[in-house]
């Protein structure tokens, strides 16, 4: 099997912790300025959360580009620095990696800023001066808050109603459009659209979508096979040269009171109707959800490599607004 070797692990934090990380590095202890070690049930053993690709790391960490001190920052460390004898990890379904080993020195870390990876410098961060933070905040709000959204926000008496009517979002971020060069995504990890996946440009074993793959990679249930069929249809279309005009039927369940009838970018979807219905009944209750069905292009479906039943819909044309940004819009519209 042709397994992709992961060179780096990624950790997400926010700008307010940058100085502490420059001074202390990353540690699973509970002292210092940045207490990022966590005790978890059932073993309550201290650990640091990582991910094997940068986009998954940012979805764990959260943050907000409209609140300066919460501006997200992503760090990476070479797995070779950690060492096989101390690298004790467990892979979770959400793409996390737990690290139980020794402290990671600041000199072993890189930070992603201004579109580039660079060594983590020591000392105080000049980026966190008051004037520069104000400039970041002002630019972000000027860009995000538009007149149509302000007018719309004024219609709602409370911010939660405004957020709900924009769209329904799951608690974790879906895979989405990524214009990073394919080679870079294959090297560092990332999301891949269904056309790329079906063409073999992905970080999964070669036999993942072979007939025997369903048993080896545990998608041999009804929902898994419905998803496999959808992907296999695109694989066959590519091999026969008939991909043009080919679409994929996907499904999504949302609470029945949400006034949405079509997919929007960054929605979680499934090629399996069974999976979508099971999700709706387990999360919202029988009869308390509605099912959205839509034909989409394979290039609009994005996968993080975890579960073939779960994909992200993203055309790459929509500016996504976070919860923090929507709150800022509502507050401004209602002068809070």
pLDDT in tens, 39-77: 444 455 667 778 777 777 766 555 555 556 667 788 888
At residue 288, the pLDDT reads 92
Domain count of the chain?
Answer: 2
Do the Cβ atoms of 289 and 204 come closer than 8 Å? no
Within a domain: residue 154? no
Whole-prediction pTM: 0.51
Mean pLDDT for 24-51 is: 61
By CB neighbour count within 10 A (0-12 exposed, 13-18 middle, 19+ buried), where does 268 fall?
buried
Within a domain: residue 49? yes
Within a domain: residue 149? no
Is the same domain home to 178 and 280?
Answer: yes
Is the same domain home to 188 and 104?
Answer: no
Is the same domain home to 168 and 121?
Answer: no
On the CB side of 215, CA atoms within 13 Å amount to 2
Q: Is 192's pLDDT higher than 90? A: yes
Is the same domain home to 189 and 302?
Answer: yes
Place of tokens 């005790």: 39
d(CA 94, CA 86): 23
Is the same domain home to 112 and 247?
Answer: no
The boundaries of the domain holding residue 226 are: 164-313
Is the same domain home to 111 and 172?
Answer: no
Within a domain: residue 55? yes
Within a domain: residue 329? no
At residue 113, the pLDDT reads 78
Is the same domain home to 99 and 180?
Answer: no
Within a domain: residue 332? no
Q: Is 300's pLDDT higher than 60? A: yes
């Amino acid at each position: 099997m042709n397994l992709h070797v992961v060179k780096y692990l990624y950790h997400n934090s926010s700008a307010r912790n940058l100085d502490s990380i420059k001074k202390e590095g990353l540690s699973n202890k509970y002292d210092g300025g940045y207490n990022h070690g966590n005790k978890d049930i059932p073993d309550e053993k201290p650990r640091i959360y990582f991910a094997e690709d940068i986009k998954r790391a940012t979805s764990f960490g959260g943050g907000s580009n409209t609140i300066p001190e919460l501006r997200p920052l992503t760090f990476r460390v070479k797995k070779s620095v950690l060492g096989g004898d101390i690298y004790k990890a467990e892979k979770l379904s959400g793409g996390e990696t737990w690290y139980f080993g020794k402290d990671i020195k600041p000199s072993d870390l890189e930070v992603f800023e201004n579109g580039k990876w660079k060594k983590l410098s020591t000392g105080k961060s000049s980026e966190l001066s008051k004037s520069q933070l104000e400039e970041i905040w002002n630019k972000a709000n000027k860009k995000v808050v538009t007149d149509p959204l302000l007018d719309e926000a004024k219609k709602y008496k409370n911010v939660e109603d405004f957020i709900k009517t924009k769209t329904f979002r799951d608690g974790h971020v879906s895979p989405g459009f990524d214009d990073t060069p394919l080679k870079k995504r294959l090297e560092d990890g990332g999301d891949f659209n269904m056309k790329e996946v079906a063409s073999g440009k992905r970080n999964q074993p070669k036999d993942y979508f072979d007939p025997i793959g369903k048993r080896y990679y545990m998608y041999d249930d009804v929902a898994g096979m419905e998803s496999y069929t959808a992907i296999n249809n695109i694989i066959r279309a590519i091999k026969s040269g008939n991909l043009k005009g080919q679409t994929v039927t996907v499904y999504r369940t949302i609470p029945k009171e949400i006034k949405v009838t079509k997919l929007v970018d960054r929605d979680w979807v499934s090629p399996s109707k069974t999976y979508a219905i099971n999700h709706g009944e387990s999360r919202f209750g029988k009869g308390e959800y509605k099912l959205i069905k839509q034909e989409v292009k394979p290039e609009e479906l994005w996968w993080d490599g975890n579960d073939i039943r779960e994909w992200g819909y993203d055309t790459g044309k929509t500016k996504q607004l976070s919860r923090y940004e929507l709150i800022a819009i509502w507050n401004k519209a209602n002068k809070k």
